[in-house]
């Protein structure tokens, strides 16, 4: 679809902002990526090359091909959106750190990880809450952990405890063995236990199935993170009577702080559908969306073809969103980290991420260049909405042609 912004009046009051975070869609390794073992990462370019090229005409018009060498998405002489790359200032490459920085909170100290399993004292304290020793206490991915311990969990009712290269305390349980609400309550209790160990998130990982046919995780995952240590853009907005709607895991990542109403999602398709519904329900304020499949379903599971297909599906959906946007609405598309499925590990990757911005009122595209912090987006939206309270990031609202 060709976007023709048309002649629109200058925006005098803020409209609605739709902010979509493509979870795990990075562009290129950051200069310090070698400190994280990610010096060769380039999620989007690598996926495009491995797929023989990607067809992303709508993202291309916004300027995506101008921020990286992406096979099938060449640079345009005159993109119709504002386009650039964001560098992460925070220590880490986790979703929680990435989202916090996007909203104005830079974390200087990395969260703790436990690649060899959690300390004995922590496991014993958790076992006391459970009333039994947990299974696992290993670093593993979500598929292998169920293969290794799913059947024993069903036989014994002992919850499965595991971590990953991220700072996560994950508790897996079969929905027919430990009902969802009980699993969530267990995770909430564990949240208090892990605070002194500097663990970013406790995650409930419910699953279903049986030993014969296999086990698989459900969409009823729930995150219990630490709250942001400083005021975020979301809190600034709600304190000034703006509505902040969230779609996907946004609410969990911010422990509900600064969120007016939230909606869970099953997958990207569900997230895109609920984005349209959320926009229709929003009078003024921010609709913040996380589309998680790029990371959870394809990046971590090394599904390169699926990753590429999901990007093309998102691109194909964008015109539906455009049709529902008013002249003074603003669209922001970015990512929170990389998750390169072509690299050796299955971890997040420390990368530049894209930022693409569009409004019907934009007359020309704008090259935003390389921004020094994810927080520049938060600072820009704070300036757009004319709210104060975040201390990180440099606004680029003045260069947007709106």
Cα–Cα distance for residue pair 247/269, rounded to 1 Å: 12
Mean pLDDT of the chain: 94
Quote the pLDDT of residue 364.
87
Q: pLDDT at residue 122 above 90?
A: yes
**Residue range 356-391, pLDDT digits in tens:** 999 998 888 999 999 999 999 999 999 999 999 999
- Residue 222's H or E segment, with its range, is strand 222-225
Say if residue 7's pLDDT is above 80. no
Q: What is the mean pLDDT of residues 66-80?
A: 97
Identify which of 276, 281, 244, 286 has the alpha carbon closest to the alpha carbon of residue 262: 244
Q: What are phi and psi of 36, to 5 degrees?
A: -110, 5
Predicted pLDDT at 1:
42
Mean pLDDT of 274-294: 97
Residue 110 has pLDDT above 90, yes or no: no
Whole-number pLDDT of residue 401: 79
Give phi and psi for 384, each to the nearest 5.
-60, -45
Position 310 pLDDT exceeds 50: yes
69-82 burial by CB neighbour count: b if 16+ within 10 A, else e?
Answer: ebbbbeebeebbbb
Q: What is the mean pLDDT of residues 301-325?
A: 97
Residue 193 CA to residue 183 CA, distance in Å, equals 15
Q: Which residue intervals of 200-258 are DSSP H helices?
A: 233-239, 250-253
pLDDT, one tens digit per residue, over 47-71 is: 999 999 999 999 999 999 999 999 9
> Given this model, what pLDDT does residue 13 score?
63
pLDDT band at 344 (very low <50, low <70, confident <90, very high): confident
Q: What pLDDT, on the 0 to 100 scale, is given for residue 162? A: 96
Banded pLDDT at 11 (limits 50, 70, 90): very low
pLDDT above 80: residue 12: no
**Cα–Cα distance for residue pair 100/94, rounded to 1 Å:** 10
Chain centroid to CA 344: how far?
Answer: 22
Q: Has residue 260 got a pLDDT over 50?
A: yes
Tally of CB atoms within 10 A around 348: 30
- Copy the structure tokens of residue 232: 């975020």
Where does 282-366 have alpha helices with state H?
293, 304-323
* pLDDT reported for residue 303: 96
What are the structural domains, with CATH classification, of the chain? 16-107+229-399 (3.40.720.10), 120-224 (3.30.70.1250)
Would you say residue 252 has pLDDT above 60? yes
Q: How many CB atoms lie within 10 A of CB 108?
A: 8
Dist CA 244 CA 238 (whole Å)? 7
Q: Do residues 26 and 335 make contact, with C-beta atoms less than 8 angstroms apart? A: yes
Q: Contact, 377 vs 393, CB < 8 A?
A: yes
pLDDT of residue 8: 38
**Whole-angstrom Cα distance, residue 10 to residue 229?**
37
Contact of 217 with 203, CB cutoff 8 Å: no
Contact (Cβ atoms closer than 8 angstroms) between residue 231 and residue 375: no
Q: Which pLDDT belongs to residue 103?
A: 98
The pLDDT of residue 180 is above 80: yes
């Amino acid at each position: 679809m060709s976007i023709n912004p048309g002649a629109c009046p200058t925006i005098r009051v803020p409209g609605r902002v739709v902010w979509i975070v493509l979870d795990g869609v990075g562009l290129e390794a950051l200069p310090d990526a070698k400190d994280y073992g990610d010096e060769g990462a380039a999620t989007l370019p690598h996926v495009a090359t491995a797929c023989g090229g990607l067809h992303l005409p709508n993202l291309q018009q916004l300027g995506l091909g101008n921020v990286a060498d992406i096979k099938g998405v060449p640079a345009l002489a005159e993109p119709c959106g504002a386009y650039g790359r964001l560098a992460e200032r925070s220590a880490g490459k986790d979703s929680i750190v990435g989202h916090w920085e996007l909203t104005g909170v830079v974390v200087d100290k990395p969260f703790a990880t436990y690649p060899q399993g959690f300390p004995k004292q922590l496991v014993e304290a958790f076992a006391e809450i459970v009333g039994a020793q947990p299974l696992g206490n290993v670093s593993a991915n979500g598929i292998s952990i169920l293969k290794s311990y799913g059947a024993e969990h069903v036989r014994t009712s002992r919850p499965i405890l595991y971590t990953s290269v991220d700072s996560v305390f994950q508790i897996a349980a079969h929905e027919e063995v430990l009902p969802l609400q009980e699993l969530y309550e267990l995770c909430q209790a564990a949240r208090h236990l892990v605070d002194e160990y500097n663990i970013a998130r406790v995650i409930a990982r419910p699953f279903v199935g049986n030993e014969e046919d296999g086990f698989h995780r459900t969409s009823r995952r729930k995150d219990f993170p630490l709250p942001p240590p400083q005021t975020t853009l979301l809190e600034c907005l709600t304190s000034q009577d703006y509505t902040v709607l969230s779609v996907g895991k946004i609410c969990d990542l911010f422990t509900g702080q600064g969120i007016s109403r939230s909606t869970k999602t099953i997958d990207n398709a569900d997230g895109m559908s609920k984005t349209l519904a959320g926009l229709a329900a929003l009078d003024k304020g921010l609709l913040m969306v996380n589309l998680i499949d790029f990371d959870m379903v394809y990046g971590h599971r090394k599904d390169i073809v699926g990753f590429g297909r999901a990007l093309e599906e998102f691109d194909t959906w964008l015109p539906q969103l455009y049709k529902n946007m008013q002249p003074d609405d603003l669209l922001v598309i970015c990512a929170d980290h990389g998750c390169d499925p072509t690299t050796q590990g299955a971890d997040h990757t420390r990368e530049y991420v894209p930022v693409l911005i569009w409004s019907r009122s934009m007359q020309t595209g704008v090259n935003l260049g390389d921004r020094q912090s994810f927080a520049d987006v938060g600072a820009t939206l704070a300036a757009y909405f004319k709210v104060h309270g975040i201390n990180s990031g440099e606004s680029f609202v003045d260069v947007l042609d709106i």
